[in-house]
Amino acid sequence: MRFSAPNNHNYHERHPILEDDLRDVFGANKTVVKKKLFSSVYELTTKSNSLEQLELFKFKSSRNKLEDEEQLILKLYSKNNQDGRSNFFVQTGLFSGVVYYNDCQFNITTRYGKNFLNRMLNYVNDIYVDNQDNLARQSNDTNEFQDIIAYLFIQSLERAAVLGLPKAYQTLSQHGNKVRGKIDINSFLKENIPFTGKITTSYREQVYVQEIVDVLFACCLHLEPIYGSCIKRKLLGIHQILKQYYSGNFPQISTIQKAKNHSVLNNPMFDGYKKVLGYAEIILREKSLQLSDDSSLITKGYLFDVAQLFEVYLEKLLDRYFDDWYVTGQEELMVYDKMFFGRRMFPDIVMKHKYSDDIIVLDAKFKTMNLNKIDVDRSDFYQIHSYIQYYQPKVLFGGLIYPVNKHINQQKSHATQLFDNRRLDSGFLVDGIRVGKEMSMSEIIKSEEAFLDRLNEFIITKQYHKKNKELIIL
C-alpha cells in the first residue's frame, strides 16, 4: 500500500477519504485498509516513542521546537458523517519524507515542487546563483526525497573532506631486508630459518578506514548514473582517493554498520563523517522506495524538517539582500526569568539595523497560504504579536512569512499600525514568496525579488513615519 500527500495536509479536515474510495487511494482491499490503518487513531509526533525508529534530518541546530513543542508528523483516524457513513482522514505536519506504517508507505511531499526545494537547498549551502547542473538528475525518477539525500550527501562529504578522509592506526607487516618497527619473532622462527637475508617485521601506521572508504565510494558510484558528472566535479580530490583505495566489494549492511560505528569518528576532526555515512546508508539501502522486510518495526522511515529548511533559506535570503541589517535566527528571549512561569521564546528571524536601534521580527511558516483568514493559525498570530511586544519600542514591524500561492496585495496584507491601533507605531504584515509546483527556477527567483522589494518598501515607509514623529516631538 502506498499513499502520498503534501505536508500540512488536511489541517482543516477538508479532504476526507470516502469508504468506497479506499481501494483506489491505497491500492488495497478496503477491509484490509480499515483494519491495518484506521481500526484506531494512529498519531506520530516529535515526542512519540516510535520516533526513535525514524531518521530525522535537521538543517540547523534547533533549540526550541523539537525540545519544547510536540509537533505532528502523521495522523490517521476516521469519523462518522451525518448519514452514519465513515470518512477517513490522513493528516500531516510540517515534516516531509517517508514513513512506513503497517505495510503502507506514506510519502509526505513538500507541496511546492522540486524547483523550490532545490532553491532552498542552494541557499542553505551558500549557492546563490542557480545552476541547473548543481544536482541535475539524468533519469526519469522524480522522487524529491532522493534528491534531498543525494544533495546532502554530496555537500556534507565535500565539507568533511576538507580535513581529509578518516585514518586509524593499524598493525601491518612486511617481509624484506629492512627492519621497520619490531621483528616478528614467531614469523622469524617459522619462516626465516635458515636466514636468507630477509626478515618479517611488524609496525603501526595510519591508514584509511576500509569500511568508510567502501561505503563512500559505493555511494558515489550509485549516484553517478543518476546525477552525472557533477559529483566528480564537486568531489574531485576526495573522489580520486576513494577510487584508489576502494576494495572493489559492494558494502553489505554489516560493513555500513562498522563504518558508522568506527571509533575513529569519535575524533572531533572526523565528526562531519557521521552525517555523511548516515546519508550514504539511506542511499545504499534504498530506503526511499522499498519497504523493509523487517516487520518487527511497526513504524520506520526518515523525515526532513522542511519548515526548518524554509527558516534557514529566509534567513540567508534576507541577510544577502539587506546590507544595512544584521539578520539572526532563533534569538533566545528569556521572559519572567525568576518566576515559576518563566520560559524561553525563539523568534525565527530578528533583523537589527546596523546604524540605528530599529528592529524587525519575523516568523517563517511553511504552511498553506491562499491568503484566506483561516490560513493564519491563531497560535502563530498571537505568537508573533508577543515577539513584537517584547521588542517595543524599537520594533518597526513584525510579520509572518509563508510560501504563498497567490499574488500579494499589500493593501490587504500590510498593516501600518499594530492591531490597527493608531497609538501604536509598529506595523504588522503577512507576506511571502509566491511559489507553485510548476514554476520554473527563474520564476521563483523573480518571486523572491518581488517579496524583498515589498519588504524594503514597508521598511522605508515605517522608517519615514518614525522620523516624522520624532521631528514632531522635537
Answer for the pair 427, 417: CB distance below 8 angstroms, yes or no. yes
pLDDT in tens, 389-417: 999 999 999 999 999 988 888 889 999 99
**What count of other Cβ atoms lies within 10 Å of the Cβ of residue 176?**
11
* More confident of the two residues 328 and 180: 328
pLDDT at residue 291 greater than cutoff 90: no
pLDDT of residue 172: 66
Answer for the pair 308, 64: CB distance below 8 angstroms, yes or no. no
Give me the chain's average pLDDT, please: 82
pLDDT in tens, 218-244: 988 888 877 766 677 778 788 888 888
Q: Which three cell numbers stand for residue 251?
A: 558494502
pLDDT of residue 296: 43
Q: Which three cell numbers stand for residue 38?
A: 484506521
pLDDT of residue 338: 87
Is the preceding peptide bond at 194 cis, omega within 30 degrees of 0? Answer: yes
pLDDT at residue 370 greater than cutoff 90: no
pLDDT at residue 352 greater than cutoff 80: yes
pLDDT at residue 66 greater than cutoff 60: no
pLDDT at residue 117 greater than cutoff 80: yes
Secondary structure letter of residue 444 according to DSSP: H
pLDDT in tens, 412-459: 999 999 998 888 889 999 999 999 888 888 899 999 999 999 999 999
pLDDT of residue 295: 45
Q: What is the DSSP string of 148-211?
A: HHHHHHHHHHHHHGGG-S-EEEEEEEEEESS--SEE-HHHHHHHSSS--S-EEEEEEEEEE-HH
Single out the residue of 63, 88, 80, 84 nearest to residue 13, CA to CA.
88
pLDDT in tens, 197-215: 677 777 677 788 889 999 9
**Position 286 confidence tier, pLDDT thresholds 50, 70, 90:** low
Dihedral of the alpha carbons of 66, 69, 73, 75, in degrees to the nearest 10: 160
Secondary structure letter of residue 2 according to DSSP: E
Contacts of range 30-39, beta carbons closer than 8 Å, 24 or more positions apart: 33/1, 34/78, 34/88, 36/1, 36/102, 36/103, 36/104, 37/1, 37/76, 37/101, 37/102, 37/104, 38/76, 38/77, 38/78, 38/86, 38/88
Answer for the pair 384, 363: CB distance below 8 angstroms, yes or no. yes
pLDDT at residue 174 greater than cutoff 80: no
Least confident stretch, 52-56, 178-182, 268-272: 178-182
pLDDT at residue 136 greater than cutoff 70: no
Dist. CA 427–CA 165, nearest whole Å: 52
Task: Give residues with Cβ within 8 angstroms of 418, minimum separation 6.
Answer: 385, 388, 397, 424, 425, 426, 427, 428
Task: Report, in angstroms and rounded to the nearest whole number, the Rg of the chain calculated over CA atoms.
Answer: 28
Dist. CA 392–CA 433, nearest whole Å: 27
Dist. CA 47–CA 69, nearest whole Å: 9
